[in-house]
Structure 1
């Protein structure tokens, strides 16, 4: 079951063609994942996860434009890969707030936990790995 988030594109996210441009789409993906990875993880007692996560890889594929209007867009997120030092989230961004709305964007981010004190990547704890599985579903086999 994917994790679902609603995000609202802003007027300033538009490009000259009237739809959300690439840089701002990447920001919307971030806005969708931050409440889960920072807020919900901290509420679950996993304070280290919220202290540092870096994007290692990003891929975005566009199928249709996301037009800025007066509604949120639905972002569905699933865990597609879980390693000891990184994890991958896949995204499906709809053109509106419902599952029936067209999928406009698919994307993936590979993320790694990062220790800001030592300025080095670190390994995920078992509790963090369990949290990711519960929040985003089991990764594909």
Structure 2
């Protein structure tokens, strides 16, 4: 909480990060597939703070969906909300990264196929998953 009793803006970024990591772990297919098991880096965050979120007993939900898939990045959209209010709308550009080679890498065909299941138009969250 900040001095005004609201969730601090930097804390929201951490919430988004935790949701994104959980989402990526859920995407990993297993069975020895290397998809979604390597690293990634954030290339861009865009956040619209809609209303202050204050401490209270009711939980909030972070809904996520994929808004764009390119050769070497994906963009995810988010909404942080409860049953009655929207608190934040955001997007993040994520780049797969090969840490041993210290450079970005392209998304694999398998990764793109899985991401397409969550692809939604930026104006609706048809592919949204609550995390």
Q: Distance in 2 between matches of 1:51 and 1:68?
A: 35
Match of 1:65 among 52, 58, 65: 52
1:76 equivalenced with 2:60 (yes/no): no
Mapping of residues 1-141 of structure 1, within 5 Å: 14-37=1-24, 39-42=25-28, 44-45=29-30, 46-94=33-81, 96=82, 98=83, 101-134=84-117, 136-138=118-120
List runs of 5+ in structure 2 lacking aligned partners: 123-131
Q: Distance in 2 between matches of 1:127 and 1:81?
A: 16
Q: Which stretches of structure 1, 4 residues or more, deviate above 4 A after TM superposition? A: none
- Paired residue for 1:10? none
Q: For the Cα contact (< 8 Å) 1:41–1:50, is it kept in 2?
A: no
Q: C-alpha displacement at 1:139, in angstroms? A: 5.2
TM-score normalised to structure 2 length: 0.83
More helix by share: 1
TM-score normalised to structure 1 length: 0.78
List runs of 5+ in structure 1 lacking aligned partners: 1-13
Q: Distance in 2 between matches of 1:26 and 1:53?
A: 16
Q: Distance in 2 between matches of 1:33 and 1:54?
A: 11
Q: C-alpha displacement at 1:121, in angstroms? A: 0.1
Q: Distance in 2 between matches of 1:66 and 1:130?
A: 36
Q: C-alpha displacement at 1:77, in angstroms? A: 1.1
Q: For the Cα contact (< 8 Å) 2:40–2:94, is it kept in 1?
A: yes
- The alignment of Structure 1 onto Structure 2 pairs a total of residues equal to 120
Q: For the Cα contact (< 8 Å) 2:35–2:108, is it kept in 1?
A: no
Q: Distance in 1 between matches of 2:57 and 2:11?
A: 17
